[in-house]
A and B are shown apart, each in its own frame.
Chain A
């Protein structure tokens, strides 16, 4: 069994020093810390699939408009004719000649 701390245990340790601070405020600060942790690589690695649409260049990664919360994309694969996902390269110079509106 991994030695994990529940949120209750975290709050109780903080209450040793700050007994009068509301728990909801502590949870808000814990959430702030989690966002901060997410900025550093390898905290939470995930993947997602999306449909490609013919003649559509742009696919949203906006946290508010998609079901996933993306901090940094580090690899993209595309399905080949056999149904396998193959890594495609990242284009370093994104100033391509023909550009669609975002």
Chain B
């Protein structure tokens, strides 16, 4: 069923509470009962198939553990600019494990230093410069003035 909203932006709004998306409307009757009248926020009043389009940041798909151990055609579900960073993350965690398990204080401190080195590279590539590395925006820009109609 198609929507009856000609200008949904004039009536509808959304917000998030926890794990839930709320779709609300100000549409209502002019002589309606209390809090159901035009202008009051309430639940959306229409059933529309595929009426809501959500744009979101998603979690990359996880890699299934293969019983045969064949990962030769499996790629991480992120931009290839970030693939090498995964090596740094795994090494950082493995060096941490090594530092925690080693009975030798010297080995533990060297392992901890290596863990910090790889953690630094991971943080730099993903947190600090991650946006720049995978951002595909380029070229000249044009400023669009706000529409004040």
Contact = CB atoms under 8 A, between A and B. Distances in A.
Interface of A: 2-8, 10-11, 13-14, 17-18, 21, 23-24, 26-38, 40-63, 68-81, 83, 85-92, 94, 96-98, 100, 102
A5 B80 contact: yes
A28 B65 contact: yes
B93 A29 contact: yes
A41 to B, nearest CB: 6
A78 B2 CA distance: 11
Interface string B73-92: 11111111011111101110
A2 B81 CA distance: 10
Contacts of B19: 60-63
Contacts, number: 292
13 contacts: A4-B83, A8-B70, A31-B62, A34-B59, A40-B126, A51-B47, A61-B16, A63-B59, A68-B58, A73-B16, A78-B3, A89-B9, A102-B17
Interface of B: 2-9, 12-24, 35, 40-63, 65, 69-80, 82-87, 89-91, 93-94, 122, 126-127, 130-131, 134-135
A26 B9 CA distance: 48
Interface centre among B22, B94, B131 (most CB of A within 10 A): B22
Contacts of B43: 55-57, 100
Contacts of B16: 61, 73, 94
A13 to B, nearest CB: 5
A68 B8 CA distance: 25
Contacts of B7: 80, 86
Contacts of A43: 57, 60, 78-79, 82, 130, 134
A61 to B, nearest CB: 5
A38 B60 contact: yes
Contacts of B45: 54-55
